[in-house]
Structure 1
């Protein structure tokens, strides 16, 4: 069982969550992971996850024009604590066409502190295409560290280039998890994104927040989740108009 939790997987989200340039790396990392699957000893943990979501969201913002999206994540966890992940995302464009939204690549190290507590840290790279809601080539790199327990997770991520050159941001987030019945979970998430220097070339608050409440149910290898999310103070702009950040989304995941 993985010690860590990454943002892109669960939002992919990733919650908690790159390695070398993703302009080259999403495909190359996924390819490298396939080679690892064929060559690693039994003590290494290899994973694959496919997901369908009604709206691919990250930190309170829709990356898929509020349209459905599909993702594939491949992961490798070494017994030493080293881990590598790669995620690629396809979306349905307005009008029905299928487009490539972008992807995430992660490399890091996880350490179990006790039977119920683990620490992870690493580097994440995200790259988005013009077919995403940003409608331009956008990217960011983050250094992250997180602490995960049986019923909580906290994480901090520092980026020197968050979506814009020379824009330094700090994102901190926390989650509380409750399991009211076997195979059921309720997750409350809150996050705060602070711009430390620079910023986008348009008026925007220096501090953004997001929150979500998710209810999930495991069904064999499948996992179903319903989420209500919101954020502020700015609304989100894409496809030429403003949109509220509140959203109700459904996601189905399959682990292999």
Structure 2
């Protein structure tokens, strides 16, 4: 399923009062990963992948994003050849309420070159910052649709990021539970460490899941944001 990434998602903010200039509403990144892992699964056949992201935002927290990644060939029923690129789009809004930072969106996952594989889902998450620690809880729901065999899919997760200012690295951890069209009560988890090296960010992450056929692996990524 997924590999080269493009995304649209962030906010324009007013800049210097004297100049009345505004920051660009566009942001993005380019990354190389040693393995494209998604909820524990390798979507690049445990091979390196190239990914890209583009994000655009507007006042009020609204955003659109596009994400793309190279993937292992993924074919639909009757396809002679499958997709080698995943291209995802989402539209949503970030806002604050009840002391939490929320993000609610609609996302579609597409596979150019393959038929009958595209599907959509509704992700929502809430985050809270405690000093140098950020905690996030999220839920992603894909309604029943033909690409999912007319089944729905549910994924719930918890994540934490710790970035002490005095440390040269930041730490991350996540755990998720998936049930429905893609898995049967599959539990996946990840532990990571990241460091900025000049203009790029290097991350090492151990990823694993309890589903058959999934082997735990250390995944390295090198990302350049712009």
Going from structure 1 to structure 2, the CA distance change for 1:67 and 1:167 (only over 3 Å counts) comes to same
Q: Is the 8 A contact 1:111 1:120 kept in 2?
A: yes
Counterpart-to-counterpart distance in 1, 2:39 and 2:217: 12
The alpha carbon displacement at 1:129 in A equals: 5.7
Say how many residue pairs are matched. 199
- Work out which of the residue numbers 218, 222, 226 in structure 2 matches 1:252: 222
Matching of residue 85 in structure 1 with residue 55 in structure 2: no
Q: Residue 141 of structure 1 aligns with which residue? A: 120
1:112 aligns with 2:86: no
Gaps of at least 5 residues in structure 1 are 1-7, 15-25, 34-40, 94-98, 236-243
Q: Would the alpha carbon gap of residues 103 and 183 (structure 1) be closer, same or farther in structure 2, given more than 3 Å must change?
A: farther
Out of 101, 113, 132, the residue aligned to residue 85 of structure 2 is: 101
CA RMSD across the alignment: 3.1
Among residues 176, 179, 196, which one is paired with 1:194 in the alignment?
179
Match of 1:71 in 2: 51
Query: How far apart are residue 234 of structure 1 and its match?
Result: 2.4
| Range moving further from structure 2, 225-234 or 43-52 | 43-52
Contact 1:172 1:193 in 2 (8 A): yes
Deviations 1:51-76 (A, max 9, x none): 10000110000111111001111101
Larger-Rg structure: 2
When normalised by structure 2's length, the TM-score is: 0.76
Structure 2 spans left out of the alignment, 5+ residues: 10-20, 74-82
Hey, which of these two has a bigger chunk of helix by percent?
A: 1
TM-score (structure 1 length as normaliser): 0.68
Structure 2 counterpart of 1:206: 184
